[in-house]
Amino acid sequence: MDEVVQQEQPTKRKIVPDAEFVQKWQSAESAQAVADQLGLQRASVNARACGLREKGVRLKKFPRAPAFGRQPRDESYYADLAALAELHGDLCPEEDMPSAEDNKVSEDEV
């Protein structure tokens, strides 16, 4: 008996002409809206906009989307994480931990 093996077809890249891209970009309220309209990923439309800007096309800039998980954290947040790490396994020796001085930015780096 012959077995028929179906291979998944690779997803074809969607080709959007520059003129269409520019029109969608300039009329949209966000990079995500452009991505949704064109069926592309947000990172792809952002990269394309940057590339066009480098070539002299003066596209508008959208406000940055908030980065999930990148909010400033206070000391209690890290204390809770340290407690969680202790509950779920062995900790590295304290002498292997970086000191507060290791984390300081020197005058030369500023």
pTM for this prediction? 0.53
- Would residue 1 count as lying in a domain? no
DSSP reduced 3-state for 10: coil
CA atoms within 13 A on the CB side of 95: 0
- Identify the weakest region by mean pLDDT among 35-39, 46-50, 65-69, 83-87: 65-69
Integer Rg of the chain from CA: 24
Task: For the chain, give the number of residues.
Answer: 110
What's the Cα-to-Cα distance from 5 to each of 10, 11, 12, rounded to whole Å? 15, 18, 21
Query: Is 46 contained in some domain?
Result: yes
pLDDT at 104 over 60: no
Residue 110's pLDDT band, with cuts at 50, 70 and 90, is very low
Q: At what angle do helices 42-54 and 18-27 cross, to 10 degrees?
A: 110
Examine residue 35 and state whether it is found in any structural domain, yes or no.
yes
Higher pLDDT, 8 or 47: 47
* Position 105 in a domain: no
What pLDDT is stored for residue 14 in this prediction?
A: 82
Measured CA to CA, the distance from residue 94 to residue 34 in angstroms comes to: 49
The answer to the question of residue 9 being in a domain is no
Tell me: pLDDT of 106 over 60: no
Long-range Cβ pairs for the range 58-66 (8 Å, 24+):
59/22, 59/25, 59/26, 60/25, 60/26, 62/28, 62/29, 62/30, 62/31, 65/30, 65/31, 65/32
Tally of structural domains, the chain:
1
Q: For a pLDDT cut of 70, what percent of the chain falls above it?
A: 75
Domain that holds residue 33: 18-54
